[in-house]
Amino acid sequence: MALGGVRVLELAGLAPAPLCGMILADFGAQVVRVDRLSRRAAALEHRDVQARGKRSLALDLKRPQGAAALRRLCGGADVLIEPFRHGVMERLGLGPEVLLQENPRLIYARLTGFGQTGKYAKSAGHDINYLALSEGVAYLSSFLWKSQNLGLWSQPRGENLLDSGAPFYEIYRTSDGKFMAVGAIEPVFYNQLIKGLGLNLDELPAQMSCSSWPEMKKKFASIFAQKTQAEWCSIFDSTDACVTPVLSFNDAASHQHNKERSSFIKNDQGEMSPRPAPVLSRTPAVPSCKRDPFIGEHTEEILLEYGFTKQEIAKLYSDKAIEFKNLKANL
């Protein structure tokens, strides 16, 4: 796969870091989730639902021996993903300045929020680039900021073109309590919407007549409420009206479009999840179907792979710096 041979260390945490680790694993990277020891992890009362394709090493970073072990592991890794607040890793002697000095090719990624984007720290020239969650969200909203002078946001909230003010950019309830999403902004799409609703374009106000939007929304709502979601799908599925059903999780996975694209996959436990994207032509992702790892399940094998001796592993265990899921190890 595309990332075959890439070594990744992911420090266990909340959603953004595990997601990044899962994506890398899906595309072939060797991802090790560095877990807290089970007695500490149990207190967190959360489960990593994005553990696909990872192995688990249980390590106590609060013990000097554990921190030293991670520092050594980073010397043989390509990527480190950590989810902590700024200053936590620094206090452990594991901040980017230290780790990048020892391994200049290490990609150090501090991921604390889904809004972060880009390379959070890179090794070239020992540059360290931080991007806060708030800055990431602000950057993602560049279109909103740049489009203010176009008049798209000149009305109060909920009365603009793209925030449900327009009748042709809205969600409507159907007769069976489900919903249809409408996004027919361009005239060619809007014309198909009007035709599907059984209306006559010549008898309606101009599409961009904002003063008519409230009344038009009521008209559209009353029409959508007369048929079931399935009936509206049969009307709009073969058109370019930009009218689509709002689907449940189960319905999304079984929708014909997604079935034809194989957009969802099932693991060995029968759980459905989205297929990794993008779909690469020569080196497509092959996500693991195995169960998620137990905390500490692969501690010994990972340490051996990274160059630790059996004696060193035994010492870490006696120092209570590591943990095994089961003690099959010959220490």
Other beta carbons less than 10 A from residue 75's beta carbon: 12
Is residue 256 assigned to a domain?
no
Q: What is the pLDDT of residue 136?
A: 74
Nearest alpha-carbon partner for 299 in 278, 285, 287, 314? 314
In this structure, are 133 and 156 located in the same domain?
no
Q: 3-state DSSP helix/strand/coil percent for the chain, to nearest 5?
A: 35, 15, 50
H/E stretch holding 91 reads: helix 88-91
In this structure, are 39 and 132 located in the same domain?
yes
Tens-digit pLDDT profile for residues 178-224:
999 999 999 999 999 999 999 999 999 999 999 999 999 999 999 99
In this structure, are 199 and 81 located in the same domain?
no
CATH value at residue 179: 3.30.1540.10
Total count of domains within the chain: 2
Task: With 0.75 as the threshold, say if the pTM is over it.
Answer: yes
Q: What is the pLDDT of residue 271?
A: 83
Cα 73 to the chain's mean position, in Å? 26
Is residue 66 assigned to a domain?
yes
Spatial separation of the C-alpha atoms in residues 6 and 130, rounded to whole Å: 23
In this structure, are 171 and 89 located in the same domain?
no
Nearest alpha-carbon partner for 77 in 110, 19, 31? 31
Check pLDDT > 70 for residue 313.
Answer: yes
Tens-digit pLDDT profile for residues 47-97:
778 999 999 999 999 999 999 999 999 999 999 999 998 899 999 999 999
Is residue 26 assigned to a domain?
yes
Is residue 241 assigned to a domain?
yes
CATH value at residue 110: 3.40.50.10540
**What range defines the domain where residue 113 resides?**
7-139+280-323
Geometric angle at alpha carbon 23, from 20 and 29, rounded to 5°: 105
Tens-digit pLDDT profile for residues 58-71:
999 999 999 999 99
Proportion of the chain above pLDDT 70, given as a percent: 89
Spatial separation of the C-alpha atoms in residues 19 and 15, rounded to whole Å: 6
Q: What is the pLDDT of residue 29?
A: 97
Q: What is the pLDDT of residue 328?
A: 53
Q: What is the pLDDT of residue 117?
A: 46
Sheet holding 169-173, edge to edge: 169-173, 179-183, 243-245
State yes or no: cis peptide before 278, omega within 30 of 0.
Answer: yes
